[in-house]
Structure 1
Amino acid sequence: MLVLALDTATPAVTAGVVRLTDGPDARIAELGVRVAHDARKHGELLMPGVQGACADAGIRLREVEAIVVGTGPGPFTGLRVGMVTAASLGDALGVPVHGVCSLDAIAQAVVLPGKLTGNLLVATDARRREVYWAAYEAEGARLTGPTVESPDAVAERLDGLHLVAAAGTMAERFGLPVREPASPTPAGLVAAAAPALDSGRTPGPLEPLYLRRPDAVPPGERKKVRT
């Protein structure tokens, strides 16, 4: 199966074409990957990345059989770019679109080589002096999260999780050995969605993981002015 994988939950604007073979000996192979780093230009950079990844893979976009997109957690504007693009392409191509937690995708990319000996922390920048984070078993199953908190609050919660490494853009804040990648990879995104892709089940609605309320709020009732 040829899968287009997209993620805009971090400053890395990621697009890739991945071949997924099903069955007990499933294999994930990245055929073409384009990554650009600019937190302010997700909209401008994503589709050129898609086209470049398809060209590197030697395929036409219409040959894609499924799409996987990171659903965050991440900033509101950047996250919407990836999810709206994925939904639009899925509709135009007539292929299913599967959403996965972007932190899960990072964890899957770390554990794919099979060399992790303990649990993993994944932490990315949530701005406002906070991080998005989740913890994972060595095989990639999520233990807790995703949550948004200050790094100090996260550090207080790590006792007892038996962590041996950290990954993500904020991994260096926690005094653990740092593993790559810092951002979701196409292979990690597809690995996170592999059970759904293999089963052929219809994906549910794409639900963004913002983890905090938007800054903008509806205006309140106007106060009456007495004369």
Structure 2
Amino acid sequence: MLLLALDTATPAVTAALHDGERVLASDSRVDARRHGELLLPAVDRVLAAAGAGLRDVTAVVVGTGPGPYTGLRVGLATADTFGLALDIPVHGLCTLDGLASATGRTPEDGPFLVATDARRKEVYWRRYADARTPLGEPAVDRPAEIAAQVGGVPAYGAGAHLYPDTFDGAVPEGPGSPVHADAGALAALAAHRLAAGAELGAPRPLYLRRPDAQVPKNYKVVTPR
């Protein structure tokens, strides 16, 4: 197996290759405005680092968010294109699950949560029992509205660091404390679930809220006479 992982749901544009046992290569660049420019070069770099070609890839896994519309669509569209061009399966995994996987936390460490920046002064977040076991569904909320639920709980991700008064258990950045999505962790989680016989999700976006662009209401229709 040679699994190509992609994620563009956070400001990190990240790609990785996994052979079913370990991460062979990974690449990340943090730039919230250049997902479309940075993703394919990242794929080229991980393939070169692993000494592989694109046609050696046997499956693709992509982070499905939640995340801002534009960045998220870059990864999903690219994954779908690879799947069609190479005639290989494309799987989807929640980006928050990939972040949780990167923490390496065990059940003995206790519950924790992951939060990413949702903009509009909101966060995307999810609670976990350990690095591979989510508790409940992903959500999007204003930090002040969830203070009672997240206070004192170990928290990872850029969303937690943006609102330290609410996420007072935010874990400082460092080894085992991810801030943005990492495709290597996403690939490792996907490989683990596939090896266990679990079905991965479809590569469909997890938005959690309506996009900013909407059809205007009560607009005047002008038709030629």
TM surpasses 0.5:
yes
Report Cα offsets for 1:135-182 as digits up to 9, x if no partner: 0002521112311111111222236xx83x211112232111515111
Do residues 134 (structure 1) and 126 (structure 2) align?
yes
Aligned to 1:60: 53
| Same amino acid, percent of matched pairs | 49
**SS of the residue aligned with 1:5?**
strand
Aligned to 2:19: 19
**SS of the residue aligned with 1:59?**
coil
Do residues 176 (structure 1) and 169 (structure 2) align?
yes
- Equivalent positions of 1:65-144 (< 5 A) are 65-111=58-104, 114=106, 117-144=109-136
**SS of the residue aligned with 1:182?**
coil
CA distance in structure 1 between the aligned counterparts of 2:88 and 2:128, rounded to whole angstroms: 30
**CA contact 2:64–2:76 (8 Å) conserved in 1:** yes
Evaluate the alpha carbon distance shift between residue 74 and residue 224 of structure 1 in structure 2; reply closer, same or farther with a 3 A threshold.
closer
Q: Which runs of 5+ in 2 are unaligned?
A: none
**CA contact 2:59–2:90 (8 Å) conserved in 1:** yes
CA distance in structure 2 between the aligned counterparts of 1:47 and 1:212, rounded to whole angstroms: 28
- Equivalent positions of 1:150-169 (< 5 A) are 150-158=142-150, 163=153, 165-169=154-158
Decide which moves more: 34-43 or 140-149: 140-149
CA distance in structure 1 between the aligned counterparts of 2:9 and 2:120, rounded to whole angstroms: 16
**CA contact 1:30–1:186 (8 Å) conserved in 2:** no
> How far off its partner does 1:31 sit?
1.1
Aligned to 1:219: 216
Aligned to 1:206: 203
CA distance in structure 1 between the aligned counterparts of 2:221 and 2:44, rounded to whole angstroms: 56
Evaluate the alpha carbon distance shift between residue 148 and residue 201 of structure 1 in structure 2; reply closer, same or farther with a 3 A threshold.
closer
> How far off its partner does 1:15 sit?
0.6
> How far off its partner does 1:51 sit?
0.3
Report Cα offsets for 1:106-127 as digits up to 9, x if no partner: 0011126x48611111000000
Evaluate the alpha carbon distance shift between residue 47 and residue 208 of structure 1 in structure 2; reply closer, same or farther with a 3 A threshold.
same
Aligned pair count reads: 214
Aligned to 2:31: 38
**CA contact 2:16–2:187 (8 Å) conserved in 1:** no
Aligned to 1:23: none
CA distance in structure 1 between the aligned counterparts of 2:197 and 2:178, rounded to whole angstroms: 28
Decide which moves more: 114-123 or 46-55: 114-123
> How far off its partner does 1:84 sit?
0.2
Do residues 147 (structure 1) and 139 (structure 2) align?
yes
CA distance in structure 2 between the aligned counterparts of 1:10 and 1:87, rounded to whole angstroms: 19
